Amino acid sequence: MIAYFGYLFFPVLGIFVGGLLNLVVLQTIPLHSTLVGVSGVVNWMGGAWLALSWLVDRRDSAMRRGAKIVAVTIVLFVPDTFRPEISYLSHFLGYFAGMFSALVFYLIFRRKFRREEIVAVKVEMPVPEGEAYWEVNEENHKTSENNEIPKSF
């Protein structure tokens, strides 16, 4: 995440939000319980990554990107068994705090993301009948209609 979004977003913001989430979760568990681990931060990273992938990578339709996010979320972030010693509240809050953090981060740096976006446009122009046009053959050389190498090359 550092390579794409910088040190401020992760690890600084991720660890800070993870600490705040642990304080919230500690208020909800019994008095003599302990809360150990950084799984809330891991889920924060996952939620942030998925939200940013939906916001930034716009090659697919919004519906298709959403379906991918739901599939990845189900496979990676929804537990298949529940154990009483695991703080699922930390996981849940971390995941959605990551999505919220990513949305805020994207809105702040939206112009930068859009400037870096590469848009490919395919333009097909009709060729008037009787005029020569250029095509690319199997060897990836430009040739004319009769497959002769033009003298200008």
Q: Classify residue 71: in a domain, yes or no.
A: yes
Helix, strand, coil % in the chain, rounded to nearest 5: 55, 5, 40
Using pLDDT thresholds of 50, 70 and 90, give the confidence band for residue 85: confident
72 within some domain = yes
Domain hosting 22: range is 2-116
Number of domains in the chain: 1
Q: Does position 134 have pLDDT exceeding 70, yes or no?
A: no
| 134-142 long-range contacts, CB within 8 A, separation 24+ | none
In whole angstroms, what is the distance from residue 153 CA to residue 142 CA? Answer: 9
pTM of the model: 0.71
